[in-house]
Amino acid sequence: MQRFIINKKNHIMILSAVLISSAFLSKWTAQNMEIFVWFMAAASVLGVLPIAIQAYQALRVKVVSIELLVTIAVAGAFAIKNFEESAIVTFLFLFGAYLEQRTLNKTRSAIKELVEMAPESALKLMDNGEFEEVDIEEVDAGDILLVKTGAKIPVDGTVLSGEGYVNEAGITGESLPVSKQKDSKVYAGTILENGTIQIMAERVGEDTTFGRIIELVEEAQDSKSEVERFIDKFSKYYTPAVLVLSAIVLFLSRNIELAITILVLGCPGALVIGVPVSNVAGIGNGARYGVLLKGSEVINDFSRVDTMVFDKTGTLTIGNPKVADMEFYTENPDEISGYLASVEKESDHPLAKAVLEYIGDTRLYTVEKTDVVKGSGIIALVNGHRIAVGNKALMERENVNLDEKVRTDIARFQQKGNSIVLTAVDGKIEMLMGIRDRIRPGVKEDLKKLKELGVKNLTVLSGDNQGTVDLVARELDLTEAHGHMLPEDKAAYIKELQEKGRIVAFVGDGVNDSPSIALAQIGIAMGGGTDVAIETSDVVLMNSDFSRLPHALGLAKATARNMRQNIIIAVGVVLVLLAGVFLSEWMNMSIGMLVHEASILAVILNGMRLLRYSLKT
């Protein structure tokens, strides 16, 4: 019976409204006070039922709820035969709860839209060579799927054949369709706007990028900040305090109407709901714009960041370096190139890929043994020779003599912003390469926006040489630049900044960035980076879109500001109402409940403004 009444709460609200309207109609037209009283009494009893049941359910878990205050107030009004106020109070409370639910559902619209985008079926290649439609649960990694024009891509995978344009707005926030062809990566939940493609499933179900986004957003929206936890704790003691205050007033004044009015006016509804609604709306806005904010605590810390530290490669730069300059110090350049290519094939470092791309087809030799020197390069045995490939520090470690010409060439290459790759054979320098990366388009403008949003210090850290890092810093007008930084050096630098009282955000994309991302107050991962960086971060910029960063910071500041506004509204309304009880003659239960529900709607609507937030340019 309790469940039935709760489920029919909105129907009870409507019936209560009809009874109250009929009561006033009989009073104003027929001056029939008997019908007026009976209808108001019936509306009071009917309306208080779902409220009293919720109060009872809360008491069973030892929680003194707002519903208990209203139930006692209505019972008191009923006892003194003030049926008009008891009926109006119950109706307003139920109507307010209805409006709250409606508007709260809108604040969760972003996650609702994401869930609705989840694919439910897929065209799977069967053993008979035909594609058949199956439930998404029947798709496993390694399956071959067919995606037609207008269909949702069901899994994360790689295009095997076909071409088309895919709308990835749900994943990255990017409105323009992205071209896909053989070997392109595709993501679950995105839509193939034209063309037909076959894909190899790599990640399915909750393991897809789409599934992880939904999980992260849901966890974030359900998370609670320190402020929310304080408010929950405060309301746990505040609500009983209102009961005690009401009892004291009743004892001192012998005025039961004044006592039950205080019960209604003291309801902390707006205070309890104000911060969560801002949190949910802010996280929802971020999800829509390709920014994942992992919780309310993250938003609060992010809004106070005064220092941002960036990894260089793949964050400020595109992360696709090319060989720009080269010098040989040998009479056998083809042989040295073959040695270098043979060694670099053993590495997956971006610089190694650039070297191999530049050298192209050449004779390769068997690599017998490799020794990776972290942060410096590789030492290997190739064709009976000891090959050292790496930076200047590696050459010094290997006691390779760098004569005046080599040192001059190194300085010249570094002035151009090159990362240095030296090749030594049996202790003799044979080749020098200069490799440069390109700065991401629009990064300078984005960094300027971050400064306008209050970030005072912008620093770049990199394993590259200092000259390269300084060149990037000058071009982007950064505060500080530090080169030759190993992962542990970056983490130590973050710790040093924190000890100085700085609130630090670190932005990176690689496995080697994970310690710094985890250590900083706010770790920000480029979404196209590694899973480790994304998992350890607090904020994810989907599709590695650096331009989302100013929006993310602006949204965090707007959300934190919105939370504070809602707290002020909630506390201010309660103080004004309680003052009105003692300082005015017009305050009563009905007016108090009306203002109480209005304050709840005010904080919800204020929070909903965040759904429309966009950074002003």
CA pair distance 480, 468, nearest whole angstrom? 13
Alpha helices, DSSP H, located in 223-349: 226-253, 256-265, 269-288, 296-302, 333-344
Of the pLDDT bands very low, low, confident and very high (cuts 50, 70, 90), residue 530 is very low
Residues 94 and 233 in one domain: yes
Mark which of 379, 411, 436 sits at the end of a domain.
436
* DSSP conformational letter for 372: E
Same domain flag for 339 and 374:
yes
Number of domains in the chain: 4
**What is the phi/psi pair of residue 64, to 5°?**
-90, 105
What average pLDDT does range 544-569 have in this prediction?
A: 90
Give the closest residue to 142 by CA, choosing from 130, 124, 162, 118: 124
In whole angstroms, what is the distance from residue 154 CA to residue 167 CA? 13
Burial class (CB in 10 A: 0-12, 13-18, 19+), 116: exposed
Same-domain status, 99 and 195: no
- The beta-carbon contacts of 577-582 under 8 Å, at least 24 apart in sequence, are 577/265, 578/262, 578/265, 578/266, 580/265, 581/258, 581/261, 581/262, 581/265
**CATH label of the domain that carries residue 187:** 2.70.150.10
pLDDT of residue 209: 67
CATH number at residue 358: 3.40.1110.10
Residue listed under structure tokens 């995606």:
147
Q: How confident is the model at residue 459 (pLDDT cuts 50, 70, 90)?
A: very high
Known catalytic residue at 140: no
Residue 531 has pLDDT above 70, yes or no: no
Q: Is the residue at 457 inside a domain?
A: yes
Mean of pLDDT values over 223-235? 65
**Where residue 425 falls among pLDDT bands split at 50, 70, 90?**
very high
> pLDDT (tens digit, 9 = 90+) per residue, 16-31?
889 988 888 888 887 7
Same structural domain, 502 and 424: no
User: For residue 574, is it within any domain?
Assistant: yes
Does residue 54 form part of some domain? yes
Those residues whose C-beta lies under 8 Å from the C-beta of residue 380, and which sit 6 or more positions away, are 342, 343, 346, 367, 368, 369, 370, 371, 386, 387, 389
Angle at 299 between CA 298 and CA 304, to 5 degrees: 100
Q: Is 114 inside a domain boundary?
A: no
Average pLDDT score over residue span 473-482: 91
Please name the amino acid found at residue 93: F
- The answer as to whether 502 is a domain residue is yes
CA dist 226 → 41, 215, 292, 505 (Å): 44, 22, 20, 19
Separation between Cα atoms, residue 333 and residue 310, nearest integer Å = 38
Banded model confidence at residue 281, pLDDT cuts 50, 70, 90: confident
Q: Are residues 312 and 382 in the same domain?
A: no
pLDDT of residue 306: 94
Three-class SS state of 362: coil
Closest CA to 611 of 285, 286, 299, 287: 285
Residue 38 has pLDDT above 50, yes or no: yes
How far apart CA 166 and CA 159 sit, in angstroms, is 12
DSSP 88-155: HHHHHHHHHHHHHHHHHHHHTHHHHHHHHTS--EEEEE-TTS-EEEEEGGG--TT-EEEE-TTPBP-S
Tell me the C-alpha distance between 195 and 53, whole Å. Answer: 57
Instruction: For residues 522 and 500, give the distance between their C-alpha atoms in angstroms, rounded to a whole number.
Output: 16
Structure tokens at 600: 């709840």
Helices 589-608 + 256-265 axis angle, to 10: 0
pTM value surpassing 0.85 = no
Spell out a b/e string for 229-251, using b for 16 or more CB atoms within 10 Å of the CB, else e. eebeeebeebbeebbeebeebbe
Same domain membership, residue 230 and residue 101: yes
Question: Choosing from 301, 311, 446, 545, which is the catalytic residue?
Answer: 311
Q: Are 278 and 562 in contact (CB under 8 A)?
A: yes
- Whether residues 312 and 326 share a domain: the answer is no
Q: Within 13 Å and on the Cβ side, how many CA atoms surround 67?
A: 17
3-class DSSP state for residue 401?
A: coil
CA 539 vs. chain centroid, Å, equals 5
Mean per-residue pLDDT over the chain, rounded: 83
Q: To 10 degrees, what angle do helices 83-107 and 269-288 make?
A: 20
Domain-ending residue, one of 484, 514, 544: 544
Q: How confident is the model at residue 617 (pLDDT cuts 50, 70, 90)?
A: low
89 and 44 in one domain?
yes
- Cα 361 from Cα 338, distance rounded (Å): 9
Strand pairing of 385-390 and 322-328?
A: unpaired
| Tokens representing residue 68 in the block | 């208990």
| 286: its two tokens | 């971020």
| Two tokens, residue 458 | 């912008």
Separation CA 410–CA 329 (nearest Å) = 13
pLDDT average, residue stretch 473-494: 88
Distance CA 301, CA 100 (A): 28
User: Quick check: 511 pLDDT over 70?
Assistant: no
Inter-axis angle of helices 66-79 and 83-107, to 10 degrees? 160
Residue 146, beta-bridge partner list: 123, 198
Is 95 found in the same domain as 236?
yes
DSSP string, 9-40: HHHHHHHHHHHHHHHHHHHHHS--HHHHHHHH
User: Residue 114 has what pLDDT?
Assistant: 57
Query: 251 and 304: one domain?
Result: no
Lowest mean pLDDT among 63-77, 143-157, 331-345, 376-390: 63-77
Asked if residue 413 is part of any domain, the answer here is yes
Q: What's the CA gap between 47 and 40, in Å, rounded?
A: 10
Per-residue pLDDT at 197 exceeds 90: yes
Structure tokens, 128: 């008979």
Tens digit of each residue's pLDDT (9 = 90 or more) over 244-256: 888 888 888 887 8
Residue 555 lies inside a defined structural domain of this protein: no
Same domain, 513 and 568: no
H helix intervals, 391-442: 392-397, 404-415
Residue 409 Ramachandran class (φ > 0 left, ψ -120 to 50 alpha, else beta): alpha
Q: Do 309 and 369 sit in the same domain of this protein?
A: no
Helix (H) or strand (E) holding 166: strand 156-167
pLDDT, tens only, 82-105: 787 778 878 877 887 777 677 666
Domain of residue 176 covers 120-151+156-203
pLDDT in tens, 287-330: 788 888 887 788 888 999 999 999 887 788 877 788 988 999 98
Confidence category of residue 453, pLDDT binned at 50, 70, 90: very high
Among 511, 544, 577, residue at a domain's last position: 544
**Who's near 56: CB < 8 A, 6+ residues apart?**
none
Backbone angles phi, psi at 163, to 5 degrees: -140, 160
Q: Is residue 138 part of a domain?
A: yes
